Structure 1
Amino acid sequence: MFKRLIAVLAIVLAGTAPALAKRVALVIGNGAYEHTVPLPNPANDAEQMAAKLRALGFEVVAGQDQTYSDMRRSVMNFAKKAYGAEIAILFYAGHGLQVAGKNHLVPIDATIEDETSLDFETITVDFIMRQMSKDVKVQMVFLDACRDNPLARTLSRRMGPSRSGSVGAGLAEIKIEETGGEGSVIAFATSPGDVALDGDGANSPFTTALIKHIDTPNASIQTVMTRVTGDVYEETEKRQRPWVNASLIGEVFLNKRSVAPSTTVASLGDTATSTPPAPAATSTATQSAIAWEREKLIWETAKSSNTVVDYQAYLDAYPSGLFADFARNSIKRLSSANQVASVNPTAPAGTAAAAGNPVIATLPDPQKAIPGTETTEAAMGWNRNSRREVQTRLNLAGHDVGRPDGAFGPKTRAGVSAWQTANGIVPTGYFTAAQYALLTTQTATQYSAYQAEVNRKQQAAAASRSTTTRRTNTTTTTRRTNNNSGGGGVNPAGAAFIGGVVGGIIGGAIGR
């Protein structure tokens, strides 16, 4: 009841008519990927887009960092609510991939090991759009899922050369089909087949522009998307141009505001004056605006502190508020992180997180609680040189794994587990992308010094080899001169000695 009241107040604020049309949206942001590169923005993108749509009178089914099961459940709930809606919206931010012209949205637990994985680990855009076509007047799809996706490259390699060409970069163009409604709008963060940018802020460039313009009063969705395209094109220095395909029988407004009627009063000067709106209407709108600003302030305070106590305070005040789902998700993530942190609540002396700070805070949320597996490590695509670098960094971090040889045997796995334990991470012996980033950060200074020393030794070895070569050439010339003079042959023992010296130098250089 409280949630419906807020929706009504939001529409009053927007100046819409009292008769409310049914509006439903599915908003999903996936960034905490377990088996591929995590994305920093989708959770923020989804949170802010859900709040914006709720303020516009939409009933929103929202989810962040969803597994395959979570996404299927969200789509099912959305499908039930969307039946008979005036407007149904899908907004998705996260990894996506196209195979044979079909677009797949990727849950956070997907591995995508082969083509079979596509049917059982991803959800197609076509499937969701079918749920939006059931007696829905206007369908809108916004896909901020055109990022560079390592899972697509892995799938392409495993499909072989004959079929790998069916895996494309970015997303594939979606054809608009006649559904008997008033039309559709489909928008991508960038052109089909291109890769979009994540941006440097809390939101991607596309979502930033969409949030900015989608609630512009009395602007049609066609006008909104023109402005979004312009903002993204300029913000990315003309490297990214959103793609929009619209087929509407008329203008569609998400924030239509009625203009208060004016009363023209004749005067001697033939001028006209407008009668201001009724005081009662102004008072209602003002009270609604104050209530919304109060809720938003409490939410921003809780989000800024990022503590369970403050998120719970928001829920106590607004148990069905616009941000209630996100507050509960945040409490769940923080509680999970605290459990992991309790394994080793403080960092060992000399680390970046020493002096009693929780070590778990050195990993980006929500990656802090995700354990490494053989799959998460394989997804990073390390070659032998990369594995040597990891072993070197583990040694530099104080966890002896022996001579870096690029082979992760029992000693290396034990070193990885020891490093994870020291940093308050579940000790599995396998890395995630976030854990590797943490190790890289911790050993940045030591590794730079190590590389400098390696380069110095290599240069010294090269100079030594050059000197030895010159000496050998001189000795050969001398022997030839002696032979021409009737001198004796080369002493075998001396030749063996010189060969041993040269071999030792070369072997030492390789082993350093």
Structure 2
Amino acid sequence: MSLLQNLPYPDYKQGLALNVEQCEVIARLANLPLNFNDVKKPGEFLIKQLDKKGYSVSQYKKFLTTTLNNKAIFTYYKPQSKVAILIANDKYEHLSKLATPSIDCDSLASKLKVLGFIPIVIKNVTSCSLKGVLKNIISLIPKDSYCFIFYAGHGCELCNTKCILGIDCPAEDIEFEHVVTENWILREVAKCEPDLCILIMDMCRLYLDKNKNQTIYASLSCIEEYSIYKNLIIGYSTQSSEAAYEVLEIECSTTIDNNLTYELKPGDTEKISPCASQYVDALCTRLSENLHINVLFDKVHLDVEKSLRKQKPIKVQCGVFKRSLYDPVQGDETALIQKIKEKLADIDQNCTIYYEE
């Protein structure tokens, strides 16, 4: 009698619910060289292959018990290094001030540090200063590394190009010198030839008024071109023309209109918990799970959609190789940390940068 004929239906149903990673573990235990790429029902496929090889119900249950009782740490790849660049703009000179970007970046830095990343937090910079800092840091990142870039602050959209707004950005007559485009960031990151680049933009994607910002619309030909080196994940915390929310117990603006500027009052900081933006809250919660990045961000985005305030994030993916934020590095991170510290020490003090050792 075969495995399929003897396997009780409840056990068969449980097998159908196995994810790809669990199926891969069972296949290794059974010495089956199976490829689960493009397999829509990995559990069903696995059971059929075990049946063909003559495995019994007791053997299958032993494999299943071993898999479910051991929290395996999957290693998909070993990058040279893992660097996280976290950018927080909240103290704007002309736009509404924000409450949570700095807190969120500090919280995210702590989480990523535990996973082996070198976290660099950049706070409250102009677009010009940010470009200089990013160029300096990226120039030190070894080839074949993981590069995680996160931005929290005000943003806008310009003909499908997402833009980070520096703290000196005006409310009207915005020019390219006031913004950093995602194209520019991706172009610079590609220069270090990373194995994986993750760019997360936790910001509003409001369209600029053409009548009030004629200069930047007249300069659309200046938008940078970029190429993708290997694996790329881009996450937008919200849809085009929509706001991204901070979940607070205090009043806070969700637009870039300076008339709605909110200043934190004494005692308000006690009401701001770590990971106060809906997106960062979901991301930090999911970082405790060792999932490959495609599944990780799918789960994060589903969590955001279920948040208190309506928000629908977007994921863009290029590259098909599985990678995890838990993947161990193979390069000398001690030497890289020292180089980064030396480079940051030379940067203008007007640009506040925090490095967690």
TM-score range, shorter chain: 0.5 to 0.7
Shift of 1:246: 1.4
Percent sequence identity over matched residues? 21
Cα distance in 2, alignment partners of residues 243 and 20 from structure 1: 26
Contact 1:28–1:63 (CA<8 Å) still a contact in 2?
Answer: yes
Once the two structures are superposed, the pairs formed by residues 451-490 of structure 1 within 5 Å of their partners are none
Change (3 A) 1:35 1:132: same
Q: How many Å separate the matches in 1 of 2:166 and 2:134?
A: 13
Amino acid at match of 1:121: H
Distance 2:159 2:86 in 1: 26
Instruction: Give the one of 312, 330, 337 matched to 1:241.
Output: 312
Give 3-state SS (helix, strand or coil) of 2:315's partner: strand
Q: Does 1:205 align with 2:278?
A: yes
- Verify the 8 A CA contact 1:214 1:221 in the aligned structure 2: no
- What is the SS of the residue equivalent to 2:176? helix
Deviation at 1:179, TM superposition (A): 2.8
Moved over 4 A (4+): 14-17
Please, which of 209, 212, 216 is the counterpart of residue 158 of structure 1? 212
CA distance in 2, matches of 1:60, 1:128: 17
8 A contact 1:144–1:206 mirrored in 2:
yes
Q: How many Å apart are 1:131 and its aligned residue?
A: 1.2
> Which of 188, 211, 221 matches 1:131?
188
Shift of 1:96: 0.8
- The DSSP-based 3-state class of the residue aligned with 1:132 is helix
Please identify which structure carries the higher helix content: 1
Structure with the higher strand share, 1 or 2: 2
Question: Whole-Å Cα distance in 2 between the matches of residues 146 and 22 of structure 1?
Answer: 31
Q: How many Å apart are 1:101 and its aligned residue? A: 2.4
The aligned counterpart of 2:98 is 39
Instruction: Give the letter aligned to residue 78 of structure 1.
Output: I
Aligned residue among 273, 297, 300 for 1:228: 300
Shift in Å, 1:251: 1.4
Greater relative contact order (CA < 8 Å, ≥ 6 in sequence): 2
**Conservation of the 8 A alpha-carbon contact between 1:96 and 1:103:** yes
Alignment-derived partner of residue 54 in structure 1: 113
Pairwise mapping of residues 22-101 of structure 1 onto structure 2 (< 5 A)? Answer: 22-101=81-160
Counterpart amino acid of residue 255 in structure 1: Y
Aligned-pair distance for 1:31? 0.7
The structural deviation recorded for 1:83 is: 4.5
Displacement, 1:15?
9.3
Unaligned runs of 5+ in 2: 1-72, 249-271, 329-339
User: 1:137 Cα deviation (Å)?
Assistant: 1.4
Amino acid at match of 2:202: D
Residues 79 and 195 in structure 2, CA contact (< 8 A), matched pair in contact too: no
Counterparts of 2:89 and 2:237, CA distance in 1: 15
Segments of structure 1 that go 5 or more residues without pairing to the other structure are 1-13, 167-174, 258-319, 334-512
Deviations 1:435-494 (A, max 9, x none): xxxxxxxxxxxxxxxxxxxxxxxxxxxxxxxxxxxxxxxxxxxxxxxxxxxxxxxxxxxx
**Does structure 2 retain, via aligned residues, the 8 Å contact 1:61–1:78?**
no
Work out whether residues 189 and 241 of structure 1, in 8 Å CA contact, stay in contact via their aligned partners in 2: yes
TM-score between the two structures when normalised by the length of structure 2: 0.56
Q: Which residue number corresponds to residue 240 of structure 2?
A: 192
Q: Which amino acid aligns with 1:214?
A: L
TM-score, normalised with respect to structure 1 = 0.40
Q: Tell me the residue number matched to 2:228.
A: 179
Q: RMSD between aligned alpha carbons?
A: 3.5
1:321-470 to 2 correspondences below 5 Å = none
Q: Check the 8 A contact 2:148/2:197 in 1, yes or no.
A: yes
The secondary structure found in structure 1 opposite 2:175 is helix
Equivalent of 1:216, from 289, 306, 328? Answer: 289
1:121 aligns with 2:181: no
Task: Tell me, yes or no, if the aligned pair for 2:152 and 2:202 is still in contact at 8 Å.
Answer: yes
Q: Using the alignment, how far apart are the partners of 2:185 and 2:278 within structure 1?
A: 24
The structure whose Rg is larger is 1
